[in-house]
Amino acid sequence: MTEGNCITGTYDAFNRRVNYLRISVTDRCNLRCIYCSDGEISHLGHNDILSYEEIARITRVAAEMGVTHVRLTGGEPLVRPYVANLVSLLTAIPGIEDISLTTNGTLLEAQAAELKAAGLKRINVSLDSLQPDRFTRITGGKNLHDVFKGMAEAHRVGLSPVKINMVVMPGINDDEIVDFAKKARDEAWHVRFIEYMPFDGAGAEPVLTVSEIKDRIETSAGALWACCLNGAGPANYYSFGSGEGTIGFIRPVSHRFCGQCNRLRLTADGKLRPCLLNDLEIDIRSSIRNGGGEAELKALLRQAIMAKPERHYLEEAAVGGRQMRQIGG
């Protein structure tokens, strides 16, 4: 235990313990999901994004400050070449206990085994429709079958639990809520329903709340019972009482969970982002490229942790700066 740290995290100004780092490895994505990208795709150049060694260096310092959990995200993390090499570098860092990855699953089949061998523990797959045509429409042209193959391979190699994240969008895919729930009930899927976050600000988009989603499931698929599934995140889990599948609800909008927020974000271009839904960012790339030593990196990490706002203000104001694709969710 070092000064200012708890054994597993550094406390922020609101007494929240920060022990989880979400790392965006690229802003590039092979999908164009209707809600995630506004069509303006300006990609960062090769020199703009942090190298794997730079990411590992920042993570090593973060681990010394008590970060134990790391999640790789993007853009689509699996479009960046050799991402398993980054997993190997992170696995070797003392104190990092859990490395997971969030993916759209389309490139997973070919990479699941090497990711597992490199030390990746778990995987989340974002999937918003079980209907091939609709999936293609939502994602801008990809094949649902590739995602299913990726999920099966992840399961086969032991990247488990494979959690499925569905962003519920009224009028677009909310008629599939019960179909997803039945996958949990009948096929042991771990499905998490995520409230759509209107980056455009309060009331810009219609939001279906978790209580409405839960009502629909219980009416058509059976009663849900509170249960528990491992993870470092804010989901509330339920099961149907039998079978191994689970249903999770993540409700950033209707049930703000900022009081339990334990995370810090690192963007692909080397900015520490204290809050997903707040545009404040702290540049750590300049420090690392200008010869900043460990003490300087630690000070920047601490500054970012202390800058975490008490809560998000999504209801009051839009998130102006970046799209979700550029932050990593």
Q: Among 9-17, 98-106, 222-230, 254-262, which window interacts with ligand SAM (CB under 6 A)? A: 98-106
Start-to-end C-alpha separation, the chain = 31
Residues in the chain: 329
CB of 103 to ligand SAM, least distance (A): 5
Q: Among 129-137, 144-152, 183-191, 193-201, which window interacts with ligand SAM (CB under 6 A)? A: 193-201
- Helix or strand or coil: residue 5? strand
Q: Are 181 and 237 in contact (CB under 8 A)?
A: no
Could you tell me how far CA 196 lies from the centroid of its own chain? 14
Cα separations (Å) of 181 from 126, 185, 189, 193, 197? 15, 6, 9, 9, 21
The answer, yes or no, to whether the previous bond of 161 is cis (omega within 30 of 0) is yes
Binder of ligand SAM out of 189, 196, 237, 240 (CB under 6 A):
196
Q: What is the DSSP letter of 74?
A: S
Q: Is 194 among the residues that bind ligand SAM (CB under 6 A)?
A: yes
Instruction: State the Cα–Cα distance between residues 200 and 123, nearest whole angstrom.
Output: 29
Q: Which residues lie closer than 8 Å to 3 by C-beta, 6 or more apart?
A: none
CB of 147 to ligand SAM, least distance (A): 10
- Indicate the residue type of 131: Q
Q: Is 257 among the residues that bind ligand SAM (CB under 6 A)?
A: no
The site string for ligand SAM over 114-143 (x = CB under 6 A, - otherwise) reads: ------------x-----------------
Binder of ligand SAM out of 224, 297, 304, 324 (CB under 6 A):
324
Instruction: State the Cα–Cα distance between residues 294 and 291, nearest whole angstrom.
Output: 10
Per CB under 6 A, contacts with ligand SAM among 44-83 are: 73-74, 76
Per CB under 6 A, contacts with ligand SAM among 7-46 are: 29, 35-36
- Indicate the residue type of 260: Q
Binder of ligand SAM out of 25, 55, 115, 167 (CB under 6 A):
167
* Cβ-closest position to ligand SAM: 329
Binder of ligand SAM out of 26, 59, 88, 102 (CB under 6 A):
102
Q: Is 248 among the residues that bind ligand SAM (CB under 6 A)?
A: no
User: Maximum CA pair distance of the chain?
Assistant: 60
Which CB sits closer to ligand SAM, 36 or 288?
A: 36
Q: What is the DSSP letter of 229?
A: -
Which CB sits closer to ligand SAM, 120 or 300?
A: 120
Contacts with ligand SAM by CB under 6 A lie at: 29, 35-36, 73-74, 76, 102-104, 126, 165, 167, 194, 196-197, 199, 324-325, 328-329
